Amino acid sequence: MWKFPQKGKMHIMSIKQLMNSRFRDLQGGLFLTVTKADVGEGAGNFMKAGGDIMAWADPFFPDPAIPESVQKALHKAVDDGFAAHYSMPIGDFQLRQTLARHIGKGTGLELDPSRNILVTPGSDSGLLYAMMPFISPGDEVMVPNPSYPSNFLNGKLLGGVTVSVPLYEEDNYQFRMEEFEKRVTPKTKMVLISHPNNPTTTVFRRESIEALCDFVIKHNLILVSDQAFQDHIYDGIEFVHPATLPGMWERTVTVCSISKGIGLSGFRIGYIYADDVIMDVLYGGAVNVIGASSTLSTIGAIAAIEDESILKSHFVRLERRRRQAYESFHDIPGVRMQLPESGILSWLNISRLGTSEEVANRLMEDAKIMVNQGVPYGSQGEGYIRIVTACFARDEDAQLRFDRIRKVLLKMGEEKGIK
Ligand SMILES: Cc1ncc(COP(=O)(O)O)c(C=O)c1O
């Protein structure tokens, strides 16, 4: 009977030597312990053992969350049978039309669904693909720190160099342009932002976005704007779309998703919009790089975007939830947090209680809850944890978990003598 060959360290090293050095250090958790919640079997095993995951930015996870209108569309699509077939590699035309209308309402842009929009299987693949035409080996990509972990890795995967640009809690995590200016070089090609930012929930204010766009134009750069969290902005804060600012349309690639605001992460539908000079290239490589999105999910996505009551009702639920989370965590001795400005996350400064690894591990052990350590979000994430507070459909179920987290953090504060 065939058996897997024994793999010693030497064997692993020799195969890894054959790999592209950009990929060699990636770890899926098979040979080493990895602590990132989105890697390998770790999170799955934790759930099987009865733990709760509050580390995936996925509204209402793990409870049923497909709205009724979307369920109907999906059932009909299965009955019709067409979902057995491919969607167009650049995305189904009807979905691109629906997206053009949707984007137009939010931004005032009048997009041509056949020239400006590409559907991707989620925005993660869209983000890497948006960067591919621009990044040659050695090119530098500026990424605010903290930021979404993939933003630091994508440049490297393409042979580029990620240049991290610090943001500061005392600035409410807005851009400090001098930090960009002092890092720009002739090799700088791109700025990549998540707006609103993950993990901090920051909505970059008009002054910040305008200053960043001036910088991008002055240095002849491309801006990739990851707007996965754009749908739920609280307290009437203005959301400025960089692509709409003077001189920016031609050099901005905007990447969005139905995963967060609309809450359909499992459908794996994202979309990119950009000027046709950029889009022509992205259309040209679509088959090779991203394949096509799922036809069934496409039909679900059209129904979800057209039923505007979904975004509206999610906004009310998620806004309530972020307050509930704030009330549960902000006054814990040794913890500091701002009221989230957007989305579904809480970002806690726990540096007086321990490192982000110590605190996250303690929550896994004592509260049986997996949250995110701050460090994968960049060096500025040390001393912080991220909690996905939109998990669970019912506020009461979320509160039970918030109470468990609170209890452990209170205990850690007591142990340190913090009052
Ligand atoms: C800031 C940000 N951008 C993009 C993504 C990718 O989401 P998706 O691939 O589900 O669209 C995520 C997922 O967590 C995210 O947090």
Report how far residue 192's alpha carbon sits from residue 281's, in angstroms, rounded to the nearest whole number. Answer: 19
Q: Supply 87's token pair.
A: 């969607």
Q: Best substitution site from 204, 259, 388 to test ligand 1's pocket, by max atoms within 8 Å of Cβ?
A: 259
Report how far residue 395's alpha carbon sits from residue 280's, in angstroms, rounded to the nearest whole number. Answer: 45
- Nearest atom (ligand 1) to Cα of 58: 14
> Which of 409, 391, 378, 390 shows the shortest CA–CA distance to 173?
378
Distance 228 CA to ligand 1 centre (A): 6
- Average pLDDT over the chain, rounded to whole? 96
CA distances from 45 to 50, 58, 188, 373 (A): 9, 18, 41, 18
Return the sign of the alpha-carbon dihedral for residues 226, 232, 234, 240: positive
Residue pLDDT, tens place only, 323-356:
999 999 999 999 999 999 999 999 999 999 999 9
Q: Best substitution site from 226, 232, 264 to test ligand 1's pocket, by max atoms within 8 Å of Cβ?
A: 226
Distance 262 CA to ligand 1 centre (A): 13
Distance 76 CA to ligand 1 centre (A): 29
Distance 123 CA to ligand 1 centre (A): 6
Q: What pLDDT is recorded for position 32?
A: 72
Report how far residue 254's alpha carbon sits from residue 112's, in angstroms, rounded to the nearest whole number. Answer: 15
Return the sign of the alpha-carbon dihedral for residues 90, 95, 96, 102: negative
Q: Which residue has the tokens 């707006």?
A: 195
Count of all residues that appear for the chain in the document: 419
Distance 149 CA to ligand 1 centre (A): 10
Q: Best substitution site from 119, 124, 195, 272 to test ligand 1's pocket, by max atoms within 8 Å of Cβ?
A: 124
Q: What pLDDT is recorded for position 7?
A: 81
Domains of the chain, first to last: 19-64+310-415 (3.90.1150.10), 68-307 (3.40.640.10)
Residue 114: burial class (beta carbons within 10 Å; 0-12, 13-18, 19+): middle
Residue pLDDT, tens place only, 234-243:
999 999 999 9
Whether 57 is in the pocket of ligand 1, judged by its Cβ within 6 Å, is yes
Residue pLDDT, tens place only, 359-369:
999 999 999 99
Report how far residue 36's alpha carbon sits from residue 13's, in angstroms, rounded to the nearest whole number. Answer: 23
Residue 404: burial class (beta carbons within 10 Å; 0-12, 13-18, 19+): middle
Residue pLDDT, tens place only, 1-48:
888 888 888 888 899 999 999 999 898 888 777 666 777 788 888 999
Report how far residue 122's alpha carbon sits from residue 259's, in angstroms, rounded to the nearest whole number. Answer: 8
Measured by CA distance, the residue closest to atom 6 of ligand 1 is 124
Q: What pLDDT is recorded for position 35?
A: 64
- The H or E element spanning position 215 is helix 206-218
**Top-confidence residue, 43 or 108:** 108
Measured by CA distance, the residue closest to atom 2 of ligand 1 is 228
- Work out the percent of the chain whose per-residue pLDDT is above 70: 99
Whether 252 is in the pocket of ligand 1, judged by its Cβ within 6 Å, is no
Quote the strand ranges of 252-389, DSSP E: 252-257, 270-273, 336-337, 345-349, 369-370, 372-373, 384-388
Residue pLDDT, tens place only, 379-414:
999 999 999 999 999 999 999 999 999 999 999 999
Distance 267 CA to ligand 1 centre (A): 13
β-strand partners of 257? 270
- Work out the percent of the chain whose per-residue pLDDT is above 90: 91
Distance 337 CA to ligand 1 centre (A): 22
- Nearest atom (ligand 1) to Cα of 198: 1
Whether 226 is in the pocket of ligand 1, judged by its Cβ within 6 Å, is yes
First to last CA, the chain: 64
Residue 170: burial class (beta carbons within 10 Å; 0-12, 13-18, 19+): exposed
Calculate mean pLDDT across residues 167-189. Answer: 98
Q: What pLDDT is recorded for position 314?
A: 98
Phi and psi at residue 155, in whole multiples of 5°? -60, -45
Q: Best substitution site from 53, 148, 152 to test ligand 1's pocket, by max atoms within 8 Å of Cβ?
A: 148
Whether 254 is in the pocket of ligand 1, judged by its Cβ within 6 Å, is no
Q: Best substitution site from 119, 197, 203, 257 to test ligand 1's pocket, by max atoms within 8 Å of Cβ?
A: 257
Whether 230 is in the pocket of ligand 1, judged by its Cβ within 6 Å, is no
Q: What pLDDT is recorded for position 5?
A: 82
Distance 412 CA to ligand 1 centre (A): 31
